[in-house]
Chains A and B, each alone.
Chain A
């Protein structure tokens, strides 16, 4: 919340009651602020600033929508030095009609303090303590209570605070005061969370005349992919995550991110992945606004990728082709749509096989090694309840109704009993049952038993399934199971779980 100069001249204050403000200015127009809209607009605005530096964050703790932080380490020389960069960033914001203050300092705390309580400018590493000492304590991003307590004690400047003994201060004002102090002076590192995915290496292309059609963007992307590929090749690196940033003229950023199954720097592959992703984007919401004036392609998750050499005895088993295919499919359909089976050592059928994204390079698919049992070719994700009748309660199933269809079962094999995995259920198994108190002998005081916690006993009957393979007269083969036992605590229910070939 802030006041502009006009409001200050009129005598308005922050935190003033609305009635007082109306009394001062009878013609005051009052509007309710749309917090969600402003917050999202500010966030998009922050993203746009990544055209100055790739690491842009928003400090959420003090201002209602946050303060913009840019990590400009190693960036300033691109804009002709720190002073010129500050002028450029502030100047273009002022040109848009905002009143802004900004500062460049070695620490986030110092830059915040200088921009809020000092003049816009640059603090070099050597002037850091001098500049901070002069600022009021509120510049340390403390909360209201801490500030008022410090003011009562007469500690108004940060310099005064710094010379006090630390332990009593920490006891009185909390650890956050010491933390902020150390962060501002650079004794403790303060981290910011970048809003956009960080790209370790990136290439970009600026446009004098903004482009807008998706086809132009993709053509640019292909050129950038070539550049990026050369950049990565020169350093012997390959990337797994790729991000395409589109900077719009109206200060918004569109991001397109994708992951490859294995390290790559193949320009054609990267470009084709983005093309597939863009087809999906086009259907949904590709909105270039008034045009795009900067396109940036970045690579993340870099690692060494030695140039491959085609050997004479190289075995080409097509694994690379398959990976590229799954990459392409996943880039358009989404990673959760392209799946591989992972076998898990478990007896519970639905747990024994997991479908994992084909992107997630599973090290080795372990074979469950359960050869003896027949398993269905198709498994229903949710077992479906069926009505089953048998000649005798524990006999083989004789008739079944599934999806409103009757089946007369002529062959059946089973049961294969699969018990609940007690070590996975949240219940704890009591290995030694509690002692029962003996009835006291007449004339003897009852013996006190040692205390045993009343753990719930694991009931092996509840989660137990009996599986049958059944076949009807026409040759349909199904996998059905009965949950529970006849004569058990719960009435047994039959389910159909799978279909055999």
Chain B
């Protein structure tokens, strides 16, 4: 009797521990994924399998481009996404910039916004004096339920915006339902807890009717470096039609080969680690 009891105790103990460990792992994984990423998996994105997805609100997106001269392109991409997030109750966009950077990056221009397809009255421009204020404004605006999107120009890799700050922002973004776009410039990728990270490069513009020598509608080349949109493709060439993105076939004339395999958050490991994709 005594023996039986003790043996059962010794076998139950590791099982309990394993269960508890598994539960803890699940919890941690939930914390890591939640809520935006988990939500993103669950949500079916609109758009065709190869087309650019209509991304929902509540995402922290890093839009990285190589140089400041692409600032117009990255602002256009962010505002184009914000435009799809407008609802009758969320009609405002905030643009954040350090006051000292105005000449370097340029300020959003009202008539330009209207020709892009956005009402300038919807845009509030905030010029913060330092990065701490800028992050405070971002958080404060995320808490407001009438803001559809926030676009912030981040020059370089400021110390204040480290992984912790970015994680904090990503959690706030996920629970608020407002999207936050951090426009980053430069080749390096600072640590960030963004849900999606894009690499953006401008692309030769489309054809302007009746004038072949004139620049036509804006186009961007986009690579999704991090995160998952539920699509098979990770690279797009987009054209702005005046109120939505249009996905274009790339230069070879056909749409990109979709990457097979299960969607995982890191693209490189997915390709390397999945043997089926290489055999098939």
Query: In the assembled complex, which residues on chain B have CB atoms less than 8 Å from the CB atom of A337?
Result: 99, 126-129
Query: In the assembled complex, which residues on chain B have CB atoms less than 8 Å from the CB atom of A475?
Result: 73, 201-205, 219
In the complex the two chains form, is A353's CB within 8 Å of B73's CB? no
Q: Please, how many angstroms separate the alpha-carbon atoms of A156 and B133 in the complex?
A: 66
Which residue of A has the minimal Cβ distance to B153? A378
Q: Restricting to B100-119, which residues have a CB under 8 Å from any CB of A? A: 102-103, 105-116
In the complex the two chains form, is B72's CB within 8 Å of A340's CB? no
Q: Restricting to A482-501, which residues have a CB under 8 Å from any CB of B? A: 498-501
Q: Please, how many angstroms separate the alpha-carbon atoms of A337 and B70 in the complex?
A: 25
Query: In the assembled complex, which residues on chain A have CB atoms less than 8 Å from the CB atom of B111?
Result: 343, 349, 352-353, 368, 370, 373, 375
B75 at the interface (CB under 8 A from A): yes
- Knowing A321-B146, A405-B69, the reply to whether A498 touches B109 (Cβ < 8 A) is yes
Q: Please, how many angstroms separate the alpha-carbon atoms of A381 and B97 in the complex?
A: 14
In the complex the two chains form, is B115's CB within 8 Å of A333's CB? no
Min Cβ gap B48→A in Å is 24
Q: Please, how many angstroms separate the alpha-carbon atoms of A119 and B147 in the complex?
A: 66
A99 at the interface (CB under 8 A from B): no
In the complex the two chains form, is A377's CB within 8 Å of B113's CB? yes
Min Cβ gap A406→B in Å is 12
Min Cβ gap B89→A in Å is 5
Which of A328, A342, A353, A413 makes the CB contact (< 8 A) with B215?
A413
Which of B107, B114, B124 makes the CB contact (< 8 A) with A381?
B107
Q: Please, how many angstroms separate the alpha-carbon atoms of A470 and B213 in the complex?
A: 10
Query: In the assembled complex, which residues on chain A have CB atoms less than 8 Å from the CB atom of B211?
Result: 413
A15 at the interface (CB under 8 A from B): no
Which residue of B has the minimal Cβ distance to A355? B125
Q: Please, how many angstroms separate the alpha-carbon atoms of A358 and B91 in the complex?
A: 15
In the complex the two chains form, is A378's CB within 8 Å of B75's CB? yes
Query: In the assembled complex, which residues on chain B have CB atoms less than 8 Å from the CB atom of A470?
Result: 215
Query: In the assembled complex, which residues on chain A have CB atoms less than 8 Å from the CB atom of B88?
Result: 315, 317
Query: In the assembled complex, which residues on chain B have CB atoms less than 8 Å from the CB atom of A378?
Result: 71-72, 75, 105-109, 112
B76 at the interface (CB under 8 A from A): yes
- Knowing A318-B91, A381-B107, A413-B214, the reply to whether A338 touches B144 (Cβ < 8 A) is no
Min Cβ gap B176→A in Å is 12
In the complex the two chains form, is A318's CB within 8 Å of B90's CB? yes
A322 at the interface (CB under 8 A from B): yes
In the complex the two chains form, is A477's CB within 8 Å of B202's CB? yes
Query: In the assembled complex, which residues on chain B have CB atoms less than 8 Å from the CB atom of A371?
Result: 115
Min Cβ gap A366→B in Å is 10
In the complex the two chains form, is B72's CB within 8 Å of A355's CB? no
Which of B76, B92, B115, B121 makes the CB contact (< 8 A) with A373?
B115
Query: In the assembled complex, which residues on chain B have CB atoms less than 8 Å from the CB atom of A377?
Result: 72, 75-76, 79, 108-109, 112-113, 116
B43 at the interface (CB under 8 A from A): no
B137 at the interface (CB under 8 A from A): yes
B145 at the interface (CB under 8 A from A): yes
B189 at the interface (CB under 8 A from A): no
A332 at the interface (CB under 8 A from B): yes
A391 at the interface (CB under 8 A from B): no
Q: Please, how many angstroms separate the alpha-carbon atoms of A338 and B136 in the complex?
A: 14
Q: Please, how many angstroms separate the alpha-carbon atoms of A211 and B121 in the complex?
A: 45
A474 at the interface (CB under 8 A from B): yes
Choose among B76, B115, B208 the residue with the greatest number of A CB atoms under 10 Å from its CB: B115
In the complex the two chains form, is B70's CB within 8 Å of A476's CB? yes
B140 at the interface (CB under 8 A from A): yes
A339 at the interface (CB under 8 A from B): yes
Write the B54-93 contact mask toward A (1 if CB under 8 angstroms, else 0): 0000000000000001111101110100000000111110
A71 at the interface (CB under 8 A from B): no
Write the A353-390 contact mask toward B (1 if CB under 8 angstroms, else 0): 10100100000010110110111111111100000000
Which residue of B has the minimal Cβ distance to A276? B140
Which of B72, B79, B124, B201 makes the CB contact (< 8 A) with A326?
B124
- Knowing A475-B202, A499-B69, the reply to whether A319 touches B146 (Cβ < 8 A) is yes
Which of B107, B113, B126, B214 makes the CB contact (< 8 A) with A329?
B126
Min Cβ gap B50→A in Å is 22
Min Cβ gap A29→B in Å is 49
- Knowing A378-B109, A499-B72, the reply to whether A318 touches B103 (Cβ < 8 A) is no
In the complex the two chains form, is A412's CB within 8 Å of B213's CB? yes
Query: In the assembled complex, which residues on chain A have CB atoms less than 8 Å from the CB atom of B203?
Result: 475
In the complex the two chains form, is B133's CB within 8 Å of A333's CB? yes
Which of A325, A333, A370, A396 makes the CB contact (< 8 A) with B213?
A396
Min Cβ gap B82→A in Å is 13
In the complex the two chains form, is A477's CB within 8 Å of B218's CB? yes
Q: Restricting to B154-187, which residues have a CB under 8 Å from any CB of A? A: none
In the complex the two chains form, is A340's CB within 8 Å of B124's CB? yes
In the complex the two chains form, is B75's CB within 8 Å of A329's CB? no
B240 at the interface (CB under 8 A from A): yes
In the complex the two chains form, is A379's CB within 8 Å of B137's CB? no
Q: Please, how many angstroms separate the alpha-carbon atoms of A24 and B220 in the complex?
A: 91
Q: Please, how many angstroms separate the alpha-carbon atoms of A420 and B224 in the complex?
A: 46
Write the A301-334 contact mask toward B (1 if CB under 8 angstroms, else 0): 0000000000000011111011011101100110
In the complex the two chains form, is A498's CB within 8 Å of B124's CB? no
Min Cβ gap B112→A in Å is 4
Query: In the assembled complex, which residues on chain B have CB atoms less than 8 Å from the CB atom of A343?
Result: 110-111, 120
Which of A322, A379, A498, A501 makes the CB contact (< 8 A) with B73?
A501
Min Cβ gap B144→A in Å is 4
A140 at the interface (CB under 8 A from B): no
A222 at the interface (CB under 8 A from B): no
In the complex the two chains form, is B110's CB within 8 Å of A352's CB? yes
Query: In the assembled complex, which residues on chain B have CB atoms less than 8 Å from the CB atom of A411?
Result: 205, 213-215
B37 at the interface (CB under 8 A from A): no
Which residue of B has the minimal Cβ distance to A328? B140
Choose among A475, A499, A501 the residue with the greatest number of B CB atoms under 10 Å from its CB: A501
A47 at the interface (CB under 8 A from B): no
Query: In the assembled complex, which residues on chain B have CB atoms less than 8 Å from the CB atom of A403?
Result: 69
In the complex the two chains form, is A341's CB within 8 Å of B123's CB? yes
A469 at the interface (CB under 8 A from B): yes
With A318-B145, A373-B111 already in contact, 12 other A-B pairs whose C-beta atoms are closer than 8 Å: A318-B89, A328-B140, A337-B99, A353-B111, A365-B120, A365-B121, A375-B111, A375-B115, A402-B69, A475-B202, A498-B106, A500-B72
User: Can you identify 15 A-B contacts, CB atoms within 8 angstroms?
Assistant: A329-B126, A337-B129, A339-B124, A349-B111, A375-B109, A375-B114, A376-B106, A378-B72, A380-B103, A412-B214, A475-B203, A476-B70, A498-B106, A499-B106, A501-B77
Shortest Cβ-Cβ A-B pairs, 9 listed: A501-B76, A318-B146, A378-B106, A499-B72, A353-B110, A413-B214, A475-B202, A379-B109, A321-B146
